[in-house]
């Protein structure tokens, strides 16, 4: 600190990250040129992020371990929305961004839907199911078929069941463990989109364009940016993101998953963190989502979200493709998360950048042909 009480330019910010997966690793990598050091809390001793920062090995609900991690840090953040909000709240005296209120919303599908609806953001018809007696009334709201989702703990399509009739719905709810859940109407969407946006500590905002996503078996397979949508839809996406950022007094990068229903956007869920559908920003935006998140939470100016062409991102699920073969594709960028191969596991991704759609499609086809997914 100088005599005005502001940090000296020599002081290197230290960011404590709850979670140490590939998102943490890429946050850490983005911090290096900025002189930002990162440290992580993760239950796995060989967490992906341990390659770029120190690691405290403990569960994310271990408040003592989180306090050790946060000791002396400039700011605490998270790279997983499952981080218990209570862990963050127990770190009093240490700045934490985004505010744990965003975790409360993201961790409860009912609160999430209610937040969207309160802000005038379209959502699927939905109703809570707390007991077996609620099933009938919930289906009266959603219609059939419907999707049952546990309120907490579901991800990548887990904790969900599609149901076609009342008896099936009762059985499916019991199968989900009879835990608090919601029923949701099935949305007849043309494609899945997402938007990533950032808000700084001064309230400044920046939105990346809408991204097109393709999922398989609940896991994101590919993203394409920008989405091929009308400018009015881009505006609608931005408006949704800005409403959420303001309402949650959010600081950092926020991701929102949306359904495109013939031009109308319907919100599905939000992730209060950097997001898989934003990995393309590393090579194809002026500022990557990872640098943007660090800028936001450290109180620095947000960076430009201009694109450097069109981009496609392909997740490597299960194992990586042949490195040399990927690198032979023009403007293809391989990211290896340093994880052991395992069916269904995200072990890396490839981003391809191109000046136009046709070139992008041709390059992406070459990358797809190299995929050896076993997930
Ligand atoms: P989620 O865990 O909510 O992201 O759901 C996983 C995937 O299931 C989504 O990416 C969609 O492909 C599909 N899905 C979820 N909710 C709905 C819905 N209400 N209508 C149709 N498809 C859905």
Q: Residue 335: beta bridge partners?
A: 349
Ligand 1 and 269: CB distance under 6 A: yes
Predicted pLDDT of residue 371: 85
Ligand 1 and 161: CB distance under 6 A: no
Which conformational region is residue 41 in: left (phi greater than 0), alpha (psi within -120 to 50 degrees), or beta?
Answer: beta
Q: Is pLDDT above 70 for 2?
A: no
Signed CA dihedral, 16, 245, 202, 103: sign only: negative
Tell me the three-class secondary structure of 290-350, residue by residue: HHHHHHHHCCCCCCCCCECCEEEEEEEECCCCCHHHHHCCCCEEEEECCCCCCCCCEEEEE
Predicted pLDDT of residue 5: 46
Give distance in angstroms: CA of 33 to centre of ligand 1: 38
Q: Please report, rounded to a whole number, the percentage of residues in the chain having pLDDT higher than 70.
A: 96
Give distance in angstroms: CA of 38 to centre of ligand 1: 33
Give distance in angstroms: CA of 125 to centre of ligand 1: 13
Q: Is pLDDT above 80 for 157?
A: no
Q: Is pLDDT above 80 for 375?
A: no
Give distance in angstroms: CA of 151 to centre of ligand 1: 14
Give distance in angstroms: CA of 260 to centre of ligand 1: 12
Ligand 1 and 183: CB distance under 6 A: no
3-state secondary structure of 51: helix
Which atom of ligand 1 is nearest the CA belonging to 155? Answer: 2
Which atom of ligand 1 is nearest the CA belonging to 154? Answer: 2
pLDDT band at 46 (very low <50, low <70, confident <90, very high): very high
Q: Rounded CA gap, 265 and 233, in Å?
A: 8
Ligand 1 and 190: CB distance under 6 A: no
Q: Buried b vs exposed e over 225-237: b needs ≥16 C-beta within 10 Å?
A: bbbebeeebbebb
Pick from 34, 38, 43: which is nearest to 23 by CA?
Answer: 38
Q: Is pLDDT above 70 for 8?
A: no
**CA-to-CA separations, 179 to 105, 136, 151, 172, 214, in angstroms, rounded:** 18, 16, 8, 11, 29
Ligand 1 and 192: CB distance under 6 A: yes
Give distance in angstroms: CA of 23 to centre of ligand 1: 22
Ligand 1 and 187: CB distance under 6 A: yes
Give distance in angstroms: CA of 193 to centre of ligand 1: 12
pLDDT in tens, 114-153: 999 999 999 999 999 999 999 999 999 999 999 999 999 8
- Does this model's pTM top 0.85? My answer is yes
Which atom of ligand 1 is nearest the CA belonging to 187? Answer: 20
**Residue 6 in tokens:** 């502001």
- Mean pLDDT of the region 346-361: 97
Ligand 1 and 7: CB distance under 6 A: no
pLDDT band at 154 (very low <50, low <70, confident <90, very high): confident
> Which of 111, 147, 223 has the most ligand 1 atoms within 8 A of CB, as the residue to mutate?
147
In terms of DSSP H, where are the helices of the chain? 22-31, 63-70, 85-89, 101-106, 109-118, 134-142, 166-175, 231-247, 281-284, 289-297, 323-327, 357-370
If you average pLDDT over every residue of the chain, what do you get?
A: 95
Quote the DSSP letter at residue 123.
Answer: B
Predicted pLDDT of residue 156: 66
Quote the DSSP letter at residue 96.
Answer: B
- Mean pLDDT of the region 32-38: 98
Ligand 1 and 270: CB distance under 6 A: no
Give distance in angstroms: CA of 218 to centre of ligand 1: 8
């Amino acid at each position: 600190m100088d005599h005005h009480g502001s940090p000296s330019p020599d002081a290197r910010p230290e960011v404590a990250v709850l979670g140490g997966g590939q998102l943490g690793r890429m946050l850490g990598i983005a911090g290096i040129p900025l002189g930002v050091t990162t440290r992580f809390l993760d239950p796995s001793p060989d967490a992906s992020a341990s390659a770029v920062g120190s690691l405290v090995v403990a569960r994310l609900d271990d408040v003592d371990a989180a306090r050790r991690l946060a000791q002396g840090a400039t700011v605490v953040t998270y790279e997983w929305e499952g981080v218990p909000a209570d862990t963050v709240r127990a770190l009093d005296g240490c700045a934490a961004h985004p505010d744990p209120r965003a975790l409360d919303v993201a961790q409860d599908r009912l609160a999430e839907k209610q937040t969207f609806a309160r802000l005038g953001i379209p959502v699927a018809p939905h109703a809570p199911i707390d007991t077996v007696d609620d099933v009938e009334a919930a289906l009266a709201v959603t219609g059939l078929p419907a999707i049952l989702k546990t309120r907490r703990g579901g991800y990548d399509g887990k904790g969900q069941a599609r149901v076609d009739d009342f008896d099936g719905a009762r059985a499916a709810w019991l199968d989900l463990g009879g835990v608090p859940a919601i029923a949701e109407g099935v949305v007849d969407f043309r494609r899945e989109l997402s938007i990533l946006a950032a808000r700084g500590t001064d309230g400044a905002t920046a939105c990346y364009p809408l991204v097109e996503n393709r999922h398989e078996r609940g896991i994101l397979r590919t993203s394409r940016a920008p989405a091929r949508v009308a400018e009015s839809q881009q505006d609608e996406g931005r408006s949704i993101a800005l409403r959420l950022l303001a309402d949650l007094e959010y600081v950092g990068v926020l991701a929102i998953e949306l359904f495109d229903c013939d031009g109308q956007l319907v919100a599905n869920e939000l992730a209060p963190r950097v997001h898989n559908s934003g990995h393309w920003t590393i090579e194809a935006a002026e500022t990557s989502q990872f640098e943007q998140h660090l800028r936001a939470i450290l109180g620095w100016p947000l960076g430009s979200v201009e694109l450097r062409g069109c981009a496609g991102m392909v997740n490597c699920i299960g194992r990586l493709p042949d490195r040399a073969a990927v690198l032979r594709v023009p403007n293809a960028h391989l990211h290896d998360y340093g994880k052991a191969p395992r069916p269904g596991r995200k072990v890396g991704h490839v981003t391809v950048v191109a000046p136009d759609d046709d070139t992008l499609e041709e390059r992406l086809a070459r990358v797809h042909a190299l995929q050896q997914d076993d997930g």
